[in-house]
Structure 1
């Protein structure tokens, strides 16, 4: 069985400001995937609301 599934980002171009003027609430933003998602969302133009257990790391 073979598949043609490919997660290479070059196959799925993303406009630089795709999230511009969007507001996103991210839970778990003080670490790990939540933190990475928060940073990338902000880079793509979103206004980000952060929630996490460790306030010092937000």
Structure 2
């Protein structure tokens, strides 16, 4: 599979959707192919947490 970059938008409640997509990416093995992550506002927060690899921290926040 090709390497993928992920860009996460800002906008408050969109952050919750990011986490749901992140879980699906993990379930289907897509996360392993993401080589760059970027975001703005809540997307930047989730991008930082994504790079750490544990969505449970993001769920807690």
Please say whether Structure 1 and Structure 2 have the same fold, judged by a TM-score greater than 0.5: no
How does the TM-score come out when normalised to structure 2?
Answer: 0.36
Q: Which has the higher contact order (CA 8 A, sep 6+)?
A: 2
Structure with more of its chain in helix, by fraction: 2
Larger Rg: 1
